[in-house]
Amino acid sequence: MRELFGTDGMRGEAGRFPLDATTVRTVGYSLATHLKERLQRTPLLVVGRDTRESGDWLERALVEGATGGGADCKSGGVITTPGVAFLARTLPRDAGVVISASHNPYQDNGVKIFAPSGRKLDDGTERLIEADIFARVAVPLNEYGDAAGKAEQHAATLQLRYIDFLAEEIGQGLSLKNLKLVLDCANGAASNLAPLLFERLGASVLAINNQPDGRNINRDCGSLHIQHLRRAVIDSSADLGVAFDGDADRSLFVDNQGLFVDGDTTLWLLANYLQSRNKLNHGLVIATVMSNFGLEIALGARGLRLLRTDVGDKNVLDELLRSGASLGGEQSGHIIFPDVSLAGDGMITTLNVLRAVKEDASSLHQLTEGFERYPQILLNVRVREKRPFAEVESISNCVREIELKLADHGRLLLRYSGTEPLARVMIEGESQTEIEQYASRLAAVIREELGT
């Protein structure tokens, strides 16, 4: 059977399978019926969406299906992905469902399902839902009336509950007076919530890209387009800027000099902050294979360790829980603090960065000193087949030679794309010229052996 759920839920173009109303209605129905079977009672769901024009009718279809399957549904309306995860954990509910495609353009949408713990839905239940979709299970509808309208009756109250948690628990004792922030809300789910939160804590806030119209989410704004935030920070003489993505599960930063602070740099400053307060469990930071080699070097110089996982926040979370580490994340700005939440939350990340700024009486620029990004090159080679690289002698020999030359001063990562017929060559090292030569050489060997 084809798999519809990837590592970050089910995504596609809104209106087309599997993000059409009929299929999403089946998702809601299937989730409700399988939960009801397992729990032997009425399943309780909470749902939410970002600002895409398709979000309203897709959420409506999801709630209709879930109600038809016997679930009780509440909706947080337009709310961040981690906001739904929080509500699933604390209301409590048996599952949380988010209608969002994160940083994708408005034409796309998605369905992401959380367990009450904040972890993504287990693979077993996802496979059951997929089976129901392909079996075209009939979904009863008529007797449930305006289920979506009833579910959203208390959306404002649920949103405030989430903001209260961020301000009073995560932001406890944190005063942002005399701090000027620029918030790029990506015309997404954070558009109303983020300014409300940081103004409540005393900051002077300039919000940009916070006027969603259903089609401008992520368009030339937010975490994928930092240049606009950089300009706003400099023009307004702000202390720092924050860029969220469409569903605000990640955040990236710009310091008062307009310099970009990505997820690797954020992990660096947060690791230092937590270690100085004996809160960095095992002196360990979890990141992915895509994190810059400079992070590994910088942490090592402080006696801290970097442990890498495969790409994906799910893999980072799994390793955080396995190792007992207290900090992990991705270069994209998706940071996880498992002691607080198992879902990455851009606003929680921002609060922790601001706490470090305030408690250390330092600027964001000063807190990032000591981290130097290594030069990096990434090449994609189109291939006709995805044979294991170790089985191709010329490729494995070339890899071995390059790794010997890089020694302890660089890194080579060779992997296949999970979605395209591509081999990805990523090399980091001290010299841009050298790594470009190494990458070109390896790409040529791959092209010769496996290329189209």
Tell me the catalytic residues: 102
Q: Minimal CA–CA distance to 332: which of 108, 3, 51, 8?
A: 8
Output the CA torsion sign for 76, 77, 78, 81. Answer: positive
User: How many whole angstroms separate alpha carbon 259 and alpha carbon 127?
Assistant: 44
Contact 239, 202 (CB under 8 A): no
CA dist list (Å): 61 to 37, 68, 144, 212: 22, 10, 12, 22
Task: For 152-204, give the DSSP string.
Answer: TTTHHHHHHHHHHHIIIIITTT---TT-EEEEE-TTSTHHHHHHHHHHHTT-E
User: How many whole angstroms separate alpha carbon 412 and alpha carbon 405?
Assistant: 11
Q: Minimal CA–CA distance to 384: which of 444, 446, 452?
A: 452
| Residue in the structure block whose two tokens are 């250390």 | 360
Tokens of 214: 């259903």
- Please report, as a single letter, which amino acid is at residue 44: L
Rounded to the nearest 10 degrees, the angle between the axes of helix 263-276 and helix 346-359 is 50
**3 state DSSP class of 278:** coil
- CB atoms under 10 Å from CB of 278, counted, come to 7
Q: Minimal CA–CA distance to 207: which of 172, 248, 174?
A: 248
